[in-house]
Structure 1
Amino acid sequence: MSSAATTVPGTPRALPRAFWALWVCQLINRLGSFVQPFLVLYLTQDRHLTASTAGAVAAAVGGGSVVSQLVGGWLSDRFGRRVTMLMCFFGTAAALILLGSARSMPMIWATAFAVGLLGDLFRPAVSATVADLLQPGERVRAYGLLFWAINLGFSISTVSAGVLASLGYGLLFWLNAASSVVAGIVIWTMVPETRPTLEEGTSRRPLLPVVLRDRMFLTGVLIQVGYATIYFQGYSTLPLAMAGDGLSTSVYGTVMALNGVVIVVLQPLVVKRLATYDRPKLVAVSMLIVGLGFGIGAVVHNWWGYALSVVVWTIGEIGFAAVIGAVLADIAPSDLRGGYMGVAGMAFGLGAVIGPLAGTNALQNLGATTTWIGVAVLGVIIFIAQYALSPAIHRRTAENALSGE
């Protein structure tokens, strides 16, 4: 990959206080993210649901996330980034407590959807806030730092959750809810509103008509749906495949903790270098590595084999996460930045629906080997598509830079 024109300066300027408050918020939120990695195991072991039913409930969380990303982006543009984040964190705490206490299937479905709906409102708001606060050349560094904070928390919470789950799954829900409340307090006390103001006499454009005419952006969103479908196998199909190989819940927690550990150790060492590469092509290569990393599951059946798989796809995840936010900020119009981030985030919500449904059903009906080979093939397909889209992304970035977007 050739170097891009935008690079991280040799001596980066200090990032603003509001950004570091977002960093702390992300860290706290992820430190308490105990429920998602163990939701399928909780439903199958504690609620005694079948694998496919548990996967469908996990997909309901993803269904809520699909709506959440779009609503969160719209809210952050119309009413403000800050209020959207507050709604997310305080609302998620309530939804988690309700999900953990739900006994009937209708209540489980409803509260799972609510967790997804409320839990991802903050994502487009945070991404838009970073783009509001920082210049284009600083964004890769900033998004990389947020990604690092998320995974520092994740590497700790996953191991802790594996231990806490042995004491009872209910504790996971309460601790996760508490971390959401603390994250909300950080936003309340330390993060100001950053939504760009419009010139007098102008009104905000409606989001959907603009997005629906943007074929390049929609193609990129579709590609990200494929990526998210692969990524969410780590939280649905992977724990079931490991259990099928006789590996315990604590082993899954430890193996998944490698994801956070690798990111925490490796990401700070490579983020400046990643910022010098062609961003859209780096996204493509990273997607390929993630797909092939999961594909390793087709030939492994012990803890160290799964650990190798996690390490490989984590390397791809680092490349993707470090630059995708900057790519989206580069191509989005400034007055619809939150909405564009939300629509792009919907790709992960759709992947959170498709991934658990496809993966768990494939595992149940076709077996682990066929499932993981299919994941690897999908990785190759989205790599080709994203690489082909790169020239159009560069043209849009240049156009926005010239117009001052």
Structure 2
Amino acid sequence: MKALLHLYLNSYRGLTKPAWMLALIMLINRSGAMVIPFLGIYMTQSLHFNIKDTGTVLSCFGVGAVLGSWLGGWLSDKVGHFTIQLSCLLLCIPVFCILSELTNPLSLSVGVFTLSLITETFRPANSVSIASYSSPESITKAFSLNRMAMNLGFSIGPALGGFLAAFSYHWLFYGNAITSGAAGFAFYMFFRKRRGNTDKKNVPKKTDADVSIRSISPWRDGKFLVFTILCCFYSICFFQLLNTLPLFYREAHHLSEWDIGLILAYSGLVVFSLEMPLVHIAAKRLSTSASIILGTVLCGASFSILTFPGHLPLLYFSMFLLCLSEILAMPFMATVTMKRASEGRQGAYMGMNSLSFSAAHILSPFLGTRIADHFGFNILWISTGILTIITALGFWMIVKKL
């Protein structure tokens, strides 16, 4: 027990105060993450959209996310990560309120597009901010801490959202608006006079070869482009969590909004509890490529076992595997990206990394809902498993070259 406690505490060493504060702000913001996990169910149950229209609206979230990822990366290098993060947090407030009044596929598509454009512009700026306030030795831990806070918030948000949805779906939108405002206020108060880490002693020296390779645009970095595409493939599979998986729970297992919220809350709680120690162990015992590959394989396994007979125990075990996948894969994807970038290009590279996830927000619901509608959920889960195997092989070939 003491050894486990020592491991857990040791995994937090080296993290700076701003890194902790960024995590706290992420926790506040994500504690209101009620809209997106329930958006598909809201459209099918409350607005009575068919599954294709639902998939189309969810894909519009991905379109906005793609543009937001590029815009966030570009603006972070031009304007600075503080201004971008604060602006995005405050702009979300009116958008969430307006979104609750949109009731047809076209207007809701425009509203969801606008929301995702703002929220995804925030992501690259936030990633650059984390790197700015962290030493090179603690950067993976800092990303993991931020994701841990995000997942703790995600364990609170869906559970609260499932409770509020039993009364009215409109409360989901208002709750998200309130937490965005609270996060924006906290961010401004702490970071308004604080500068990032500019201590050159903490920056590893780069050779002339490093500079010549890494100073180019990420769009011209061929190896990194391949890595980005593979991250997109992984994300297409993983993001079934946010669109088709809740629909599967509702239609195939007839779970209530409260039960669905509990499963999603469980996922956030698992990642919150295990991410820091597991990342600490993986960083010491596994290579970066091994962690990403193992995480990718576990993602496919988590969906594939949904084809087996079973009810709640099977659903919770599947979600546990998906949590392990997220823990092992995503922090190291961010680390590979940040280490590949040179000074002055971090925003562009993190924007490219966010772009891979954002593109998956388009393809994941679009493909997932249509495969489920035409062929059934079992074919969707088997296809997801096959794609993750192909993706893992791709990571095995490319990550070691980066």
Q: Report Cα offsets for 1:23-60 as digits up to 9, x if no partner.
A: 11100011011001000001111111011111111111
TM-score normalised over the length of structure 1: 0.89
CA contact (8 A) 1:151 1:260 kept: yes
Task: After TM superposition, give the deviation of residue 269 of structure 1 in Å.
Answer: 2.8
Task: After TM superposition, give the deviation of residue 268 of structure 1 in Å.
Answer: 3.2
- RMSD of Structure 2 on Structure 1 (CA): 2.3
* Partner in structure 2 of residue 263 of structure 1: 271
1:218 matched to 2:220: no
Residue 226 of structure 2 aligns with an amino acid whose one-letter code is T
Which structure 2 residues correspond to residues 305-344 of structure 1 after superposition, within 5 A? Answer: 305-344=314-353
Tell me whether 172-181 or 291-300 shows the greater mean CA deviation: 291-300
Task: After TM superposition, give the deviation of residue 195 of structure 1 in Å.
Answer: 8.8
CA contact (8 A) 2:215 2:345 kept: no
Task: After TM superposition, give the deviation of residue 390 of structure 1 in Å.
Answer: 2.1
CA contact (8 A) 2:372 2:380 kept: yes
Q: Report % sequence identity.
A: 27
Of residues 382, 393, 396, the one that matches 2:391 is 382
* Partner in structure 1 of residue 365 of structure 2: 356
Q: Report Cα offsets for 1:235-278 as digits up to 9, x if no partner.
A: 11111112222222222111222211211222233231122221
Quick one: structure 1 residues 165 and 12, their matched pair in 2 at CA, closer, same or farther if it must change by over 3 Å? closer
Which structure 2 residues correspond to residues 297-312 of structure 1 after superposition, within 5 A? Answer: 297-312=306-321
Q: Report Cα offsets for 1:216-251 as digits up to 9, x if no partner.
A: 110011001111101111111111112222222222
Quick one: structure 1 residues 261 and 13, their matched pair in 2 at CA, closer, same or farther if it must change by over 3 Å? closer
Q: Report Cα offsets for 1:175-201 as digits up to 9, x if no partner.
A: 10111111111221112353979xxxx
Q: Report Cα offsets for 1:80-106 as digits up to 9, x if no partner.
A: 000110121111222111111113433
Matches of 1:63 and 1:195, distance apart in 2: 33
Task: After TM superposition, give the deviation of residue 9 of structure 1 in Å.
Answer: 12
Residue 149 of structure 1 aligns with an amino acid whose one-letter code is A
CA contact (8 A) 1:80 1:194 kept: no
* Partner in structure 1 of residue 196 of structure 2: 194
Matches of 1:38 and 1:300, distance apart in 2: 25
SS at match of 1:330: helix
Which structure 2 residues correspond to residues 45-56 of structure 1 after superposition, within 5 A? Answer: 45-56=45-56
Task: After TM superposition, give the deviation of residue 11 of structure 1 in Å.
Answer: 9.0
Q: Aligned pair count?
A: 379
CA contact (8 A) 2:11 2:277 kept: no
Matches of 2:215 and 2:45, distance apart in 1: 42
Which structure 2 residues correspond to residues 2-401 of structure 1 after superposition, within 5 A? Answer: 14-191=14-191, 192-194=194-196, 210-245=217-252, 246-276=254-284, 277-393=286-402
Matches of 2:334 and 2:175, distance apart in 1: 29
TM-score normalised over the length of structure 2: 0.89
Matches of 2:346 and 2:280, distance apart in 1: 25
Matches of 2:368 and 2:271, distance apart in 1: 25
Task: After TM superposition, give the deviation of residue 340 of structure 1 in Å.
Answer: 0.6
Please, which runs of 5 or more residues in structure 2 have no aligned partner? Answer: 1-7, 200-211
Please, which runs of 5 or more residues in structure 1 have no aligned partner? Answer: 1-7, 198-204, 394-405
